[in-house]
Structure 1
Amino acid sequence: MVEEGRAGKWCILQTSAGRTLPLARALSAAGYEGWTPRRMESRRRPRSTVTIDRELAIAPGFVFVPSRHLDDLWRALALPVCPFPPFSVFTVGRRVPEISGTDIQGLKAEETKADIEWQAFVDRREKKLKRSQRYLYGRGTVVRVADQDSMLGMVGVVAGGNDRVAQIEFSNGHKWNIETWRLIPDHVDAALSGKDAAARTAMAS
């Protein structure tokens, strides 16, 4: 989150909906601390099964900038070619209204909520992807449980099974059927991500 302006005041810039994020990014890159609340969205491409993640503006058309940068922004607008995507300073009559940090708390809260919801979605998506993976471990392979809270970190030996479920025998003699996506070879660091672990999983028959 950007710092608030002098005495916590902000001015409002207006632009088109499609230029909201480019304007905020360009202003921030130039040191003007442009901010607009954002959220992520996952959408399927038309006529395709491929999904793409994209960033969207929560308040399209509005970018907030600390008021201490206002004079610089006026100068930028006066240039023959403005270095930023087209925008205007929001005015009421001849006055530029300034807002305080508390005035945009609602937007900040909305952005935080969107971030939490997106992370929950990403976690569910990654879990679903992991569950779809199949690994075939040969009998006698030493494996570690990497994704099951009640057995996390336990090491056992593959006693049978297939590419979906492996029968694991533990040191106490108990045998459990465990989905193969929850397992990694014991020589792989259990701290590796599921993607990295999968890339290094030994496939054996």
Structure 2
Amino acid sequence: MMHQPIDMACTRWCILRMSGPRTLAVADSLAAVGVEAWTPRRTEKRPHPSRKAIGPDGRRATVEIDAPILPTYVFIRAVHRDEVLAIAADPASPHPQFSFLRRADNSIPEVRGADVAGLQEEERRAQEIIDKLRECEGREARRRERAALMKTERARQKALRMERREFSPQQTVTVEGMPALGGMTGIVESSDGRSAVVHFGGSLTMTIEAWRLAPDHVQSGNTSVVAAA
């Protein structure tokens, strides 16, 4: 997860050095004790460590990890310099190992916020990229979910079509899953278990699949349902 960017424009910063794999750990460890520490980072998607982890699309799953944009460099606000110098000099420090970037005369340089504006812009662009990627993946996940629901609904309808529903002549029924007939009741004229001829009044008589019909419990008698062999 990307960290909230620090406003670096109106202050001065010192630079810490460390090994590449420790970059984020140093920044996070110092920030956890109240030091204003920052290093530009981006979120990357990488294959899941386990080859057995399969994503919804049937391919190997991915995981998100934070990665430094500028490995081996962490910026701390200059007002924390003495505090961080003490941390670096403490052999019992719980923080990952790091050192200060120094000039040839051993002095510690400071940089302006404007000097690292390009790095902040790079971090912002990296965040935009991962946000767009997540949005695309979200749309794809929703598409797969809709497809799965449609597949489930088709399977449900197929199972219902395999049932035989016997309706008695003159039985009153309602229709499910056909909005045009929603709220209407009809009278069964004949039924063969797979479909029924239903009269809705006037000249409206229709043959409707039996699985779409339900007895009107207020007026009708029993309906028998038999699974097809």
TM-score (norm 1): 0.64
Work out which of the residue numbers 2, 8, 31 in structure 1 matches 2:6: 2
SS in structure 1 opposite 2:38? coil
Unpaired runs of at least 5, structure 1: 140-156, 160-167, 172-205
Report the residue type matching 1:60 in the other structure.
P
Quote the offset at 1:78 in angstroms.
2.0
The answer to whether structure 1 residue 124 and structure 2 residue 136 are counterparts is yes
Separation in structure 2 between the aligned mates of residue 61 and residue 20 of structure 1, nearest angstrom: 5
Match for 1:98 among 89, 110, 125? 110
- 59, 65, 87: which one pairs with 2:70? 59
1:124 Cα deviation from its structure 2 partner: 0.5
SS at match of 1:107: helix
CA contact (8 A) 1:21 1:36 kept: yes
Query: Is the alpha carbon distance of 1:57 and 1:75 closer, same or farther for their aligned partners in structure 2, counting shifts above 3 Å?
Result: same
Equivalent in the alignment of 2:83: 72
Could you tell me how far 1:83 is from its partner in structure 2?
2.7
Cα offset, 1:116, TM superposition: 0.4
- Aligned residue pairs total 144
Matched, 1:82 2:78: no
CA separation in 1, counterparts of 2:7 and 2:64?
A: 27
Partner of 2:46: 43
Distance 1:158 1:23 in 2: 61
Structure 2 unaligned spans of 5+? 53-59, 158-175, 183-229
Q: Is the 8 A contact 1:3 1:33 kept in 2?
A: no
Amino acid at match of 2:103: V
SS of equivalent to 2:135: helix
Deviation at 1:33, TM superposition (A): 1.3
What's the counterpart of residue 154 of structure 1? none
1:95 CA drift (Å): 1.5
For residues 77 and 95 of structure 2, the distance between their equivalents in structure 1, rounded to whole angstroms, comes to 16
User: Do residues 21 (structure 1) and 32 (structure 2) align?
Assistant: no
> What is the TM-score with the length of structure 2 in the denominator?
0.58
* Secondary structure at 1:121 match in 2: helix
| 2-structure distance, mates of 1:77, 1:44 | 35
Match of 1:11 in 2: 14
Secondary structure of 1:125's counterpart equals helix
> Residue type matched to 1:29 in 2?
A
Which residue type is aligned with residue 6 of structure 2?
Answer: V
Range that drifts further, 75-84 or 130-139? 130-139
* Structure 2 Cα separation of the partners of residues 51 and 35 of structure 1: 27
2:212 is aligned to none
Task: From the CA coordinates, give the structure whose radius of gyration is larger.
Answer: 2
Opposite residue 24 of structure 1, the aligned amino acid is A
CA drift at 1:80: 2.6
Partner-residue secondary structure (3-state), 1:41: strand
